[in-house]
Chains A and B, each alone.
Chain A
Amino acid sequence: METWDATYERMPREELEQLQLERLQATLNRAFKNVTCYRNKFNQQGIIPEDIRSLSDLTKLPFTTKEDLRLNYPYGMFAVPLREVVRIHSSSGTTGKPTVVGYTKNDIRTWSNLVARFMVAAGVTHDDVVQIAFGYGMFTGAFGLHYGAETIGASVIPMSAGNSEKQIMIMQDYKSTVLVCTPSYAITLADRMERMGVDPKGLSLKVGLFGGEPWSEPMRHEIESRLQISATDNYGLSEIIGPGVAGECRCKCGMHIFEDAFIPEIIDPDTGVALPPGSVGELVLTTLTKEAFPMIRYRTRDITSLDYSPCACGRTLARMKKTMGRSDDMMIIKGVNVFPSQIEEVLVAIKGCEPHYQLVVGKKGAMDVLEVHIEVTEDIFFDEMKMQRAFLEMIEKRIETVLGVGVTVKLVEPNSIPRHEGKAARVIDNRNM
């Protein structure tokens, strides 16, 4: 099977571990020297980079969390001066402020090649026409796949998200062979085709690269049979690099983690203790080749497990299972990361809106919908229907501004939302994953 970078993708484990150690030591030396946050964290634990003499010493290092990124907003975690950064992206933070990440020219090149790896692994070649239906903008998804496809030499159609009918028209007319979007949007497109009377068999599509949200095997089968394509999963997060951390080969038996660029660990999310290979736990990643934004033991909060056994495709890289959930309360709505704390912040800011609320996630067709239920109080109850509606619309708009995804706000009876000791059950997820 084809590989984009066989040297690294098929590297014998012993060589790979030497390379990882060299790159880890170099990364630590640079991060310690250039990033105050890392220097302080290491100092607090009495650690210097020289203490790391093997890959297993990695566990001596402190974790990096989303909270660290928040405290160092916007540029505090950068390891190079801003003038060397050629790109800035961001993703949702846990509060109103997003997480900012930066790339040097080399980082963009590294990123492009990592994405090219999983695209090639999925069967994309330079003859393909790649339709990218991820939203362009601050999110890393669209750009990552865009660069990867261009690096391979494929033709890129930067459609961006939405406008399903136009997507289908372009797909027919431009003879797109590869579709890039969230898995749920793939199903939305299939639904729309059905309604429009478009037969997927008449399309040129052959490969789908789906990511940005967790999805299940039954969903894969549904997409594959309805769109007549081979559907593969890939994984990434903007804090680490964006898409290009891991991706499936055509065996579809787990996503190969590009271990020459990232060291994966699985930890117990409650104790932080590293777990043996094969255990289910939280994925922690350390970058090995990033210049602008090195991440050391970043807690992804994604729950998965790693498989180091050889894969039929010949790659020697470990495989991670599809993510099985989160170790925090983050939700993924239409591919966008949403934290309940972001919504709470908006509600608290609105005068008189005491935050007894609940978030209900469901599906409308294939797409996610998020409803915010707020307990009605004297202060936010209006006799006049018009004023009441305007009030709700105002909240919806404010939340949408913060999240980047639309929500529906509903008022519910006082005391109808269950109170729990300690942490309230803020989120009800009715999507069946």
Chain B
Amino acid sequence: METLKAKNINTYYGQVHALKNVSLHLKQGEIVTLIGANGAGKTTMLNSLSAITPPKSGEISLNGAPIGTLPPDRVVELGISQVPEGRQVFKPLSVEDNLELGAYLRFRRREGRGAIRSGLEEVYTLFPRLLERRKQMAGTLSGGEQQMLAIGRALMAKPRVLLLDEPSMGLAPLVVQEIFSVIENLRREKGTTVLLVEQNARVALKMADRGYVMETGKVILEGSASELLENKEVQRAYLGKEKKEIWER
């Protein structure tokens, strides 16, 4: 069963042709990773799917229904939430306020206070540290906690598809492991579909089922995660074959 499907996505930044005919799909409950060097178009692809930078041409569909021309809030409403690169939490607001903002559209839909409350509790169960810090200003959190908050905020919209942009960036290895295990839990327990953009291709491929390798705005490889890990081109370019982080050994 396909959840999200994109065909021939072309996205421009002014004159710059950032995505050239990118096609990809996510099946329900799949964790798929998009790997590639800086500037390959990974973030642009996420932003195209979430309508933040709408593609100039191409088709996007969610469970068979075209969503390519919808504005970002409609896309969120239909079940696609993005966790932006660099967390982008509202620093002066409390942790809990940040989370509640993630449910903004559900407030607008007049879902009861109770439903949103139970959503909060679910997030706190996933990330107990956020519960400890619920009254604290988001800006005072550590990088890892801010990442948890950003993911928690996205989950407050009850997404079926989660778009994650570089969740490991700048974080200590143990925190990365913690965050990735939460993502795996989400998939296992709720069947959440995940599209994960990562610079750290090795960790991404260890968790993912499948992956796409991007280069200069194009997809150059599609395959199962284990195939991509074995691919020499991937090893050379993105895995730094000989180099392993201490905690990966």
Contact = CB atoms under 8 A, between A and B. Distances in A.
Interface in B20-69: 20-21, 23-25
A18 B231 contact: no
Contacts of B222: 19, 22-23, 26
A29 B218 contact: yes
Interface stretch (B1-9, B132-140, B171-179, B183-191): B1-9
A104 B230 CA distance: 9
Interface in A46-64: 49-50, 52-53
B23 A25 contact: yes
Interface in A15-50: 15, 18-19, 21-23, 25-26, 29-30, 33, 49-50
A15 B27 CA distance: 10
A289 B224 CA distance: 11
B115 interface: no
Contact of B220 (A29, A50, A104): A29
B21 A106 contact: no
Interface residues of A, number: 24
B219 A84 contact: no
Nearest to B24: A22
Given A21-B7, A106-B230, A15 B2 contact: yes
Q: What bracket does the count of chain B residues touching chain A fall in? A: 20 to 34
Contacts of B7: 18, 21, 53
A19 B32 CA distance: 14
B91 interface: no
Nearest to B230: A106
Chain A residues touching B, majority SS: helix
Contacts of A26: 212-213, 219-222
A289 B223 contact: yes
Most chain-A CB neighbours within 10 Å: which of B8, B21, B24, B231? B21
Interface in A70-124: 80, 84, 104-106, 109-110
Contacts, number: 59
A50 B20 contact: yes
Most chain-A CB neighbours within 10 Å: which of B213, B218, B230? B218
A53 B8 contact: yes
B227 interface: yes
Contacts of A80: 232-233
A30 B234 CA distance: 13
A248 interface: no
Nearest to B2: A15
A25 B2 contact: no
B21 to A, nearest CB: 5
Nearest to B213: A26
A133 B220 CA distance: 39
A19 B220 contact: no
A292 to B, nearest CB: 10
A419 to B, nearest CB: 54
A291 interface: yes
A106 B227 contact: yes
Contacts of B218: 25, 29, 49-50
Contacts of B230: 105-106, 109
Contact of B221 (A19, A30, A109, A110): A30
B23 A109 contact: no
Most chain-A CB neighbours within 10 Å: which of B25, B212, B232? B232
A104 to B, nearest CB: 7
Interface of A: 15, 18-19, 21-23, 25-26, 29-30, 33, 49-50, 52-53, 80, 84, 104-106, 109-110, 289, 291
Given A18-B7, A22-B212, A23-B222, 19 more contacts: A18-B2, A21-B23, A22-B23, A22-B25, A25-B218, A26-B213, A26-B220, A26-B221, A29-B215, A29-B218, A50-B21, A50-B218, A52-B21, A53-B21, A84-B232, A104-B232, A106-B230, A106-B231, A110-B227
19 contacts: A15-B2, A18-B2, A18-B5, A18-B23, A18-B25, A19-B25, A22-B23, A25-B219, A26-B213, A26-B221, A26-B222, A29-B218, A50-B20, A50-B218, A80-B232, A106-B223, A106-B231, A109-B230, A291-B231
